[in-house]
């Protein structure tokens, strides 16, 4: 178990509260304030030592290594040692110094010597029935608090790791997309096409969205649909009659989604349907969404030369998309890919 940094003021407050609990409502039984401080302070100190050695030494040597039985045995030994120290200090110092406070106890057990006090059946019963709960409860609270803080730290570290991984995946995706769209513009510029200004405007909108407006974990699905529409328009301009793209979308109400996931699928479909295709490629994109489910289905034709051959590797864009889905929507998505004469991707995302 990793060591957890505890606020020193909270720790001091905790042990001050333990001291007050040990003092109890009958503090008048002590003959002097000094006796109270010594007696209650001794108990509190022993409780602290049990908790300290359990957390700093026993847990790393046993629980962290899966030795659960040895942990409980070790904890029991710590409690017995603390109780024996308490018996010894009482016998050697407290009882002789404050005999009036121990009058009744000395009447019953004053004839027992130190060995009999520390090593006898009476002592064992005294420890098990009165001292084990007394010395254990602060240790249990302290250990539980440490475990809680550790779990919070682990969750925080996992969240930071997930954010870093998502950022890395986006950094892989964005340049890949930008490269393709710039190629579109380059091809039109070479042809001195009248559509070049239109492409620049759409590309500008796409870059603005990708670079500045989709940095949140979730974005409006309607904005993602506009992004896809811009991309589809660019692809139609670039390929002309070489590609037919049908884009149908139906979004019922405000819905949010992780950014750029759907675009990855569309981009992949357009790219692979036109590669090595001498005729006309076909892409059909269907998006349906409501407050419960986002459903994307994309079908794209395959070049005639490779129509009957399945792809032997998963495109980098789809691989990145799947990683993002696993991190953002664990157990809340289904992804089915059919790779035969056509490439069909069916993605369903349950809104958390």
Q: Tell me the pLDDT tens digit for each residue of 42-100.
A: 999 999 999 899 888 888 888 878 888 998 898 888 988 888 898 889 888 988 888 88
Predicted pLDDT at 3: 47
Lookup result for tokens 């200090």: 89
More confident: 145 or 241: 241
Is the pLDDT at 239 greater than 90? The verdict is no
- How far from each other are the two terminal CA atoms of the chain, in whole angstroms? 32
What band does 336 get if pLDDT is binned at 50, 70 and 90? Answer: very high
Average pLDDT of the segment spanning 10-30: 84
Residues in the chain, overall count: 352
DSSP state of 311: -
Q: Which residue has the tokens 């098990």?
A: 128
CB count in 10 Å sphere of residue 60: 13
Check residue 348 and report its DSSP letter.
E
pLDDT, greater one: 147 or 248:
248
Between helix 261-274 and helix 132-191 the angle, nearest 10°, is 40
CATH number of 193-350, picked from 3.40.50.300, 3.30.565.10, 3.40.50.1820, 3.40.50.280: 3.30.565.10
What are the sequence ranges of the domains in the chain? 8-156, 193-350
- H or E stretch at 234: helix 221-239
Please say if the pLDDT value at position 158 is more than 70. no
pLDDT, averaged across the chain:
81
Q: Identify the weakest region by mean pLDDT among 12-26, 187-201, 208-222, 307-321.
A: 307-321
Q: Exposed (0-12), middle (13-18) or buried (19+): which is 201, by Cβ within 10 Å?
A: exposed
Question: Among the listed ranges 125-129, 162-166, 183-187, 331-335, which one has the minimum average pLDDT value?
Answer: 162-166
Residue 220 has pLDDT above 90, yes or no: yes
Rounded-to-integer distance, Cα 265 and Cα 346, Å: 10
Amino acid 293: pLDDT: 94
Whether the Cβ atoms of residue 252 and residue 289 lie closer than 8 Å to each other: yes
């Amino acid at each position: 178990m990793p060591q957890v940094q505890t606020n020193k003021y909270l720790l001091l407050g905790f042990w001050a509260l333990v001291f007050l609990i040990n003092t109890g409502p009958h503090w008048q039984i002590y003959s002097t304030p000094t006796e109270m401080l010594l007696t209650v302070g001794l108990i509190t100190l022993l409780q602290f030592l049990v908790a300290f050695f359990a957390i700093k030494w026993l847990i790393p040597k046993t629980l962290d290594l899966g030795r659960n039985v040895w942990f409980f045995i070790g904890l029991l030994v710590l409690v017995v040692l603390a109780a024996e120290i308490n018996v010894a200090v009482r016998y050697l110092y407290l009882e002789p110094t404050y005999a009036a406070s121990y009058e009744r106890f000395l009447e019953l057990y004053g004839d027992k010597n130190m060995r009999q006090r520390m090593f006898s059946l009476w002592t064992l019963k005294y420890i098990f029935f009165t001292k084990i709960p007394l010395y254990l409860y602060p240790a249990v609270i302290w250990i539980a608090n440490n475990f809680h803080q550790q779990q919070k730290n682990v969750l925080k570290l996992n969240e930071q790791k997930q954010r870093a991984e998502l950022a890395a995946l986006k950094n892989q995706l964005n340049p890949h997309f930008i490269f393709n769209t710039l190629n579109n513009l380059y091809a039109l510029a070479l042809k001195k096409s009248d559509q070049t200004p239109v492409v620049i405007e759409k590309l500008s909108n796409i870059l603005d969205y990708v670079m500045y407006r989709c940095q949140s974990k979730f974005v409006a699905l309607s904005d993602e649909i506009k992004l896809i529409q811009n991309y589809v328009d660019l692809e139609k301009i670039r390929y002309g009659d070489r590609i037919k793209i049908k884009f149908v979308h139906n979004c019922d109400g405000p819905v949010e989604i992780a950014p750029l996931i759907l675009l990855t699928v569309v981009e992949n479909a357009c790219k692979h349907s036109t590669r090595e295709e001498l005729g006309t490629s076909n892409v059909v994109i269907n998006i349906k969404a409501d407050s419960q489910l986002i459903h994307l289905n994309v079908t794209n034709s395959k070049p005639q030369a490779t129509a009957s051959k399945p792809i032997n590797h998963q495109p980098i864009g789809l691989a990145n998309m799947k990683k993002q889905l696993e991190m953002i929507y664990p157990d809340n998505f289904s992804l089915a890919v059919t790779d035969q004469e056509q490439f069909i991707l069916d993605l369903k995302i349950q809104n958390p």
